[in-house]
């Protein structure tokens, strides 16, 4: 029974998602217009294949079926940001795919939002490799190599925070010079009935 349980867990298609944009909020006239920001690069980690992958804007058609058939999409602020930015490129409603937004779950406990940077510093002992505005500059200067590295770094950080929270039912975060701990009980994904998985084979 234990072996069967492990096999089912390993077959779960959980996708960690992060993306960067071509434009800033200022470029599109302020917040609330995420659908206009346009994707520069989207990066994922696929638990079912143990692969990290990156997709430029013209490659998003390859990412679409991977997201559509996921058992769960995991991210940090994906509900209010990443999903809204990527939705115009998809031929399905991404909000109908099961998801776990770590920012949303942390907000339920704390009552306010905190940055991934502070969670990474507290939980993992190190922070992000840059900022979203730097990522836009990478795109504008044609440095797709640096842009992909930055985005993949964020995926790795998000995955590590998720793995820690799933295993320990808590996360740590930096609050100025103090490290604080909050209980964070998140349920693992469950297989979706009737969904044929699209493997990331390339």
Structure pTM? 0.88
pLDDT of res. 195? 65
pLDDT value for 104: 96
Q: Torsions phi, psi of 170, nearest 5?
A: -160, 165
Give the pLDDT confidence score for residue 170 in this predicted structure. 96
- In terms of DSSP bridges, do strands 99-101 and 72-75 run parallel, antiparallel, or are they unpaired? parallel
Give the CA distances from residue 52 to residues 76, 182, 187, in Å, rounded to whole numbers and listed in that order: 17, 29, 23
> CA torsion sign, 79 to 196 to 187 to 181?
negative
Q: Which of 17-21, 113-117, 132-136, 147-151 is the least confident region?
A: 132-136
Which pLDDT score, from 0 to 100, does residue 6 have? Answer: 45
CA distance 200 to 49: 7
Query: What is the rounded distance in angstroms from the CA atom of residue 98 to the CA atom of residue 95?
Result: 8
Q: Could you give the 3-state DSSP secondary structure of residue 72?
A: strand
Per residue in 31-41, pLDDT (tens digit) is 777 888 899 99
Domains of the chain in sequence order: 2-104+129-156 (3.30.420.10)
Q: In the prediction, which pLDDT does 202 show? A: 41
The arithmetic mean of pLDDT across residues 100-117, rounded, is: 94
Confidence at residue 194, expressed as pLDDT on a 0 to 100 scale: 67
């Amino acid at each position: 029974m234990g072996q069967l349980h492990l096999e089912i867990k390993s077959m779960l298609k959980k996708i960690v998602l992060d993306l960067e944009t071509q434009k800033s909020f200022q470029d599109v006239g302020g917040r609330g217009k995420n659908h206009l920001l346009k994707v520069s690069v989207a990066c994922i980690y696929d638990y079912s294949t143990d692969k990290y992958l990156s997709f430029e804007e013209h490659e998003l058609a390859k990412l679409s079926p991977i997201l559509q058939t996921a058992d769960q999409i995991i991210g940090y602020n994906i509900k209010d940001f990443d999903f809204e930015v990527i939705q115009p490129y998809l031929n399905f409603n991404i909000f109908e795919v099961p998801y776990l937004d770590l920012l949303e779950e942390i907000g339920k406990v704390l009552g306010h939002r905190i940055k991934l940077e502070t969670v990474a510093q507290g939980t993992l002992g190190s922070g992000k490799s840059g900022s979203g505005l730097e990522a836009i500059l990478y795109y504008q200067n044609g440095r797709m190599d640096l842009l992909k590295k930055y985005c993949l770094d964020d995926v790795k950080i998000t995955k590590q925070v998720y793995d820690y929270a799933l295993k320990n039912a808590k996360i740590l975060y930096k609050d100025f010079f103090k490290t604080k701990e909050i209980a964070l009980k998140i349920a693992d994904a469950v297989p979706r009935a009737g969904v044929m998985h699209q493997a990331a084979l390339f």
